[in-house]
Amino acid sequence: MLFNSFSFWLFYFFVFTIYWKLSHKNQNSLLLISSYFFYGMWDWHFLFLIFSSTSIDYFLGKEIYQAKSIQKKKIFLFSSIFANLSILGFFKYYNFFSLELNNLFVSIGISSMLPTLDIILPVGISFYTFQTMSYSIDIFRNEIKPIKSFKDYALYVSFFPQLVAGPIERSSRLIPQVVNKRHWKENYILDGLYLIFYGLFLKIVIADNMAPIVNHIFAQETSTLSGLEILLGVYAFAFQIYGDFAGYSAIARGIAKWLGFDLMVNFRMPYFATSPSDFWRRWHISLSSWFRDYVYIPLGGNRKGEARSHLNLIVTMFLSGLWHGAAWTYILWGLIHGLFLSIHKLFNQVFTFKLSPDSKIFKLVSIFIMFQIVSLGWLFFRADNISQALTFLSYVPTNLTITPFAIGIISIFSFYILPLVSYEWWVEKKEDLMILPKSGLVIQTIFYTYVLLLLFFFPSPTAHEFIYFQF
């Protein structure tokens, strides 16, 4: 069930109308049943998989906590991590690595040895796997105690608003909200309504209207496109993936809010970032902070010298790219971001600026440059293969001819993207992501009227599945 489908809202209406009439214990039972039903609607075969992952970490979490020696704790933690990564690795990466190894064997004269399998990637597996792994690691670090109820832990893993595409919640944030009684608050109505409407706007109006442009550009022979058309196609994908993923996260937070849960913010106006590190404090925050806390810092962070800190950055972003998918394009995308993070870190150490970072000109120039860097990365992320990405990249600076198609794309940007950027700039200036529900009636009326008009009259002719479902 998609958040932008009638079937989902029928399902959610049924859950919501019953939910607040129940006791806390029965609320959790309803949410667990609803979450498994929600996941089973994608493919019921994988219900056993999520149940298995849940069971493994629930029982190993207890063993980690009860173990008397650090050696035993490490054994149980390793067992948890190994089990999770083995499941994730098989479903997500087996065919990729078997194909690459077979190609390597053939290149040196050895016949193909590893079979390729017809494996279906379970939706959301990367998200809930990281969520269960963080639970075991947090117990090992003595940051939390194991949860007593298996049912409550299963709900923590499978909570349907954020199950298939995040945000990836930490056990220290979400488990207390599961275990403790939830109370309805007045601000839930307006806050949830805003998050849901804004999320639907980002998905249906922005992302889905950018998708046809992106699909057309990346399906063409490079020789038939001008460099400007390619560049605009990359910009279109930048807003498609932002609208798609930020839209999902906003809707997830909104529907969770109406159930008394406060999910973490996953996006903070990422295209207003002024540096690579600033971008990753704004984009997919739940994942970037996960890699920071569970990969970068354990590798040594910046505590083991400058050379090691640069290596740690690149390794962390390499793994982030691999997390997104079993393809060299994702790996290269991660390495590009790791390289830019490393270069920016080195640049700041070598040079000092006469311009204040608070200067408006400095900030605008930084935002412009950073958007180009991020868009460069998106080119590799979206391309069918590395060859296409490099060919597209070589064409951009050589042929910036203004074609009728390019003018058409710019017109579409003016209609859809310019209002979005203007609104988010206003929110950025206010330094409050929830400023609109706190604004006056006039501002709210204008916002909701505008969003409703675009949702009703300017949706994409073709609905598109959320991009991050494939990860």
pLDDT (0 to 100) of residue 386: 94
Go through 307-344 and write b for each residue having 16 or more CB atoms within 10 A of its CB, e for each that does not. eebbbbbbbbbbbbbbbbbbbebbbbbbbbbbebbbeb
pLDDT at 467 over 80: no
pLDDT at 212 over 90: yes
Is 146 found in the same domain as 126?
yes
pLDDT (0 to 100) of residue 217: 95
pLDDT (0 to 100) of residue 81: 95
Query: Into how many domains does the chain fold?
Result: 2
pLDDT (0 to 100) of residue 45: 85
How much is the mean pLDDT over the chain? 90
Q: What is the mean pLDDT of residues 85-95?
A: 88
Asked if residue 298 is part of any domain, the answer here is no
**Tell me: the pLDDT tens digits for 254-297?**
999 999 999 999 999 999 999 999 999 999 999 999 999 999 99
Q: Provide the pLDDT confidence category of residue 410 given band limits of 50, 70 and 90.
A: very high
Contact 109, 103 (CB under 8 A): no
Q: What is the mean pLDDT of residues 204-219?
A: 94
Q: Provide the pLDDT confidence category of residue 358 given band limits of 50, 70 and 90.
A: low
Lowest model confidence (mean pLDDT) among 100-104, 350-354, 401-405, 451-455 = 350-354
Asked if residue 75 is part of any domain, the answer here is yes
End of a domain among 179, 206, 230? 179
Q: Identify the active-site residue in 324, 337, 344, 464.
A: 324
End of a domain among 179, 209, 243? 179
Asked if residue 287 is part of any domain, the answer here is no
pLDDT at 166 over 60: yes
Is 212 found in the same domain as 160?
no
pLDDT (0 to 100) of residue 110: 74
Q: What is the mean pLDDT of residues 231-259?
A: 96
Asked if residue 234 is part of any domain, the answer here is yes
pLDDT (0 to 100) of residue 317: 95
pLDDT (0 to 100) of residue 31: 97
Is 196 found in the same domain as 130?
no
pLDDT (0 to 100) of residue 214: 95
Is 212 found in the same domain as 167?
no
pLDDT (0 to 100) of residue 1: 76
pLDDT (0 to 100) of residue 159: 96
Is 172 found in the same domain as 106?
yes
Lowest model confidence (mean pLDDT) among 51-65, 159-173, 457-471 = 457-471
Lowest model confidence (mean pLDDT) among 48-62, 84-98, 308-322, 374-388 = 84-98
Is 161 found in the same domain as 66?
yes
Is 143 found in the same domain as 124?
yes
Is 41 found in the same domain as 74?
yes
pLDDT at 96 over 80: no
Question: What range does the domain containing 426 cover?
Answer: 187-274+357-470
pLDDT at 44 over 90: no
Is 380 found in the same domain as 264?
yes
Q: What percent of the chain has pLDDT over 70?
A: 94
344 labelled catalytic: no
pLDDT at 168 over 60: yes
End of a domain among 179, 210, 244? 179
Is 109 found in the same domain as 213?
no
pLDDT (0 to 100) of residue 471: 62
Asked if residue 333 is part of any domain, the answer here is no
pLDDT (0 to 100) of residue 112: 64
pLDDT (0 to 100) of residue 258: 96
pLDDT (0 to 100) of residue 305: 82
Is 134 found in the same domain as 13?
yes
Q: What is the mean pLDDT of residues 182-186?
A: 90
Is 212 found in the same domain as 106?
no
**Tell me: the pLDDT tens digits for 225-235?**
999 999 999 99
Asked if residue 247 is part of any domain, the answer here is yes
Lowest model confidence (mean pLDDT) among 14-28, 72-86, 377-391, 452-466 = 452-466
pLDDT at 304 over 90: no
Asked if residue 314 is part of any domain, the answer here is no
Asked if residue 27 is part of any domain, the answer here is yes
